[in-house]
Amino acid sequence: MSLLGRRLLAEFIGTALLVCVVVGSGIAAQQLSAHDVGLQLLENSTATVFGLGILILTLGPVSGAHFNPVVSVADWWAGRRAGTGLTTPDLAAYIGAQVLGGIAGSVLANIMFDLPAVQISGHHRVTSGHLVGEVVATAGLIAVIFALARTGRAALSAVVVAAYIGSAYWFTSSTSFANPAVTTGRIFSDTFAGIAPASAPAFIAAQIIGAAIGFTLIGLLYPGPVPAENIVTPNPS
């Protein structure tokens, strides 16, 4: 398999398993704690923190462990002049693998819990507060990732990024989707973690705005990119 093929496979698998963790733990939480929404969120967020950290450690050396189109776009943008990061064709391929992986992850979670494989969520989430929450969650995520990269601490990404997402489950009103591919995948499960199709475009728009804000903030705080951002520059071996 070519190097790009390995990267795309890693992005597909990583995004699929991330969504499977989010949706599957949401289903389990509903079943185990049917009458306590706070406990359901605790169970869901805890599983996501551990799952995301493991996926970053496992697949990061192959693809950089983006699992998120806005991370891939930020990497492409940061490296476009110096020739680091993703090329434009690679960016398009990464996003395609991530979106398909997100959908596959929901389907897999549904099947594991003996639910119809393909569902369409009826969980409408759009309020002004939720959209502000998505802007904040995504801006913070991009800022954390690039701050680590630009200060030579990318090796801490598995722990720090997972910890940030876990905290953002609780301090944002939207429970921190912060990822267009995950948002798209969660359309396909009518469960605790799902999102209705009508709500997804607004969430994705808020995520794009948040990513731009986060990247702008990093440019102000850390104006000099290192030669290789190391966000996503995988080990070619």
Domains of the chain: 3-221 (1.20.1080.10)
Give the pLDDT of residue 231: 55
Give the pLDDT of residue 79: 82
Structure tokens at 48: 């996501």
Residues 8, 59 contacting (CB under 8 angstroms): no
Question: What do you get for the CA distance between the two ends of the chain, in Å?
Answer: 12
Give the pLDDT of residue 1: 87
Phi-psi region of 175 (alpha: psi -120 to 50; beta: other; left: phi over 0): left
Coil/strand/helix, residue 59 = helix
Give the pLDDT of residue 234: 47
Residues 18, 67 contacting (CB under 8 angstroms): yes
Taking the model in full, what pTM does it have?
A: 0.93
For the chain (237 residues), the mean pLDDT of every run of 10, in chain order, is: 95 98 97 95 97 98 97 92 83 98 98 97 95 98 96 95 98 97 98 96 98 96 64 45
Phi-psi region of 210 (alpha: psi -120 to 50; beta: other; left: phi over 0): alpha
Give the pLDDT of residue 85: 80
